Amino acid sequence: MRWPLVLRNAIQRGRNRSLAVAWTLATAAALVLTTLVIELVFVAFLGFLLLPFVPFAGVVPGLLVGAMQWLVLRRVVPDTGHWILVTGFAFGLACFLTIVLGFYVLSLAACAVGAAVIGCAQAALLRRWTGRALMWVPVSVAAWTAAAAVLLFGPRTVPGLSGPADRLVSWAGGFDTESALGTALLAGLAAGAISGGAMPWILDGRVSAPRAQRSLH
């Protein structure tokens, strides 16, 4: 009688690992793509014309992170259509608050506040599918503060990636410069591993069907 239960648990553990890995890779890929796009646009085309929009620059990575995470999330929960827009808006607000608070508090503390904004926004959607949605807030704070720490203090060079990225951005800009693509990859892996590791447990506290259906209206 125990074999069906053991088999079911093994299958569930495999699915959890698959979800965690996919979430980690999706988050990392989003940060890498965002960094590449921003660097190419900033260096090669618009340059300092983009400076007035820096406080709202978080919207770009937010939309890409939301889109990549949505590709993973939509396989396990229903109606994830708002995830991309909510994540984009939350990143934009988080970026703005981080810049403003950065004048008054330590950079990482400001980043933690911004990360809490992202966590609260996404948790508002997660609560439709799980009773553990509030735990997503501290998870997000840990994940995105860790990513910020890597971006601020992490290595500038990642073997196998930084060299080609430097050459690409330098070619686009017409002058020698360094790319932050390698650091973005490490930051994305940090944020993705922390949040992705927690996501299976968060979603394991599934809400009942009636509550889930009511939340969609």
- Give the torsion through C-alpha atoms of 111, 99, 182, 64, to 10 deg: 90
Q: What is the pLDDT of residues 167-197, one digit of tens each?
A: 666 666 666 666 777 888 899 999 999 999 9
Q: 216: which 2 tokens? A: 């969609």
Q: Decide: 122 and 136 in contact? Cβ < 8 Å.
A: yes
Q: What is the pLDDT of residues 34-82, one digit of tens each?
A: 888 777 776 655 555 555 555 566 788 899 999 999 999 888 887 666 8
Q: Decide: 208 and 175 in contact? Cβ < 8 Å.
A: no
Q: pTM higher than 0.75, yes or no?
A: yes
Distance CA 149, CA 154 (A): 7
Q: Is the dihedral of CA 81, 87, 90, 92 positive or negative?
A: negative
Domain ranges of the chain: 13-215
Residue type at 193 in one-letter notation: A
